Amino acid sequence: MVMARNSLVNNIGDADLKLLRIFKSVVESGGLAAAETELNIGRSTISKHLSDLEHRLDLRLCDRGPAGFALTEDGAKVLEAADSLLGSVSDFRAEVNEIKKRLVGTIRIAFFDQCASNPEVNLAKSIAAFNLAAPNVEIDLSIEPPTAIETKVIGGELDIGIIAQHRPSPSLNYVPIYGENMYVYCGRDHEFFERSDAGLSLADVRRTNYAGISVNSPNLHVGQKLGLRRSAKVQSEHALSILILSGRYIGFLPDHLARIFEQRGSMRPILPDQLYYRTTFCAVTRRRPNPNRITSLFMQTLERQHSE
C-alpha cells in the first residue's frame, strides 16, 4: 500500500494527537455510540475523525456500521502504538512541569572585582536565598572586567552581570542594587604619606603618578575629569592596590577595600574632601530575549536582599 503524502507517520502534530485520542476513546468505549458521552461530540463527527485518521495513516483501523464496531488487525497494532505515543507525551509533559517547578539548569553570573568586603553588598545572602529556592540550579560565578561583562551579557554568554553604572547600553536592563565610596590613596612609601592634607593641593596630586582602571568606567571618567596624569593602567582594583602599595602611584580605591591597608598603616586617603566619588552598581540582563525563569528568580532575589 502506498503511503499518503503528508501522512501522520512523517509529520505528527497536535491535530494528529487529538485524532489518536479520539480513536483510543472509541475503542475503550466499545464503539461510536458509547463514545459520544465520553467525548461529548456527535456520532457523525466521531466517524469523520476516525475517517480522517485512517486517511492520515492510509490504513483501515476499524469496521463500523449496523453490525457493530470492531478493530481490524491493523487497527489493533495502531492502538498499541498510540498507547505508547500518548503515554510518552503525557510523561514528557509531567517531566517538563516538574522541571519548571524545580528549576534545573545553570545560571552564569559575573561581577567586577572586590565586593565581598563591601558592607552594602548582599551578594552572598542573595546566593544563599537563591540556592534554597532553586537547589538544583548550578551557579557559575566569575570575576571579569566591566566591558567583558557587558559584552558577554549582550551576547548571551552570561545571564547576569554586576557592574558600575556608567554610560548604559541600550541592549541591557540595569537594576541598581548597591553602591561604594571611592577615595584616592597613597602607599606608606609615597611622598604624600607623611604630609598633611593641609599641605597638599590638587595641583600636587596632578603632578604625581596616577594609576587608574583602563576600561570604560566611572574610575576612568573621574580621573580624566580631575586632570590626573595616568602613568599606569590596570583592569582590576586588586592590581591597583599593588601599584598604590608600591609607593610610586596614587589611585582611587573603594574605602571598604582600602580599610585593611589603612589599619596596617600601609596606605592612607589623600584630600578625601576633594578626591571622592560614589559609584552605584547595577545588576544587568539583556533586553532581548526576555530573561528565563532562573535568571528572573535570581534578579528578584538580588533586589529583595538589597532592599532589606
pLDDT tens column, 214-253: 877 888 889 999 999 899 999 888 999 999 999 999 999 9
Confidence category of residue 6, pLDDT binned at 50, 70, 90:
low
- Interval 145-196: pLDDT, tens: 888 899 999 999 999 999 999 888 899 999 999 999 999 999 999 999 999 9
Degrees, nearest 5: CA angle 221-225-226: 120
pTM as predicted: 0.69
| Better pLDDT: 102 or 74 | 74
Q: Look at residue 209 in the predicted model and tell me its pLDDT.
A: 96
| Contact status, residue 148 vs residue 167, Cβ threshold 8 Å | no
Question: Could you tell me which residues come within 8 angstroms of residue 162 by beta carbon, excluding any fewer than 6 positions away?
Answer: 109, 110, 111, 112, 115, 123, 149, 177, 281, 282, 283, 284
Distance (Å, rounded) from C-alpha 79 to C-alpha 73?
Answer: 10
Distance (Å, rounded) from C-alpha 266 to C-alpha 193?
Answer: 9
- Interval 95-106: pLDDT, tens: 776 677 778 889
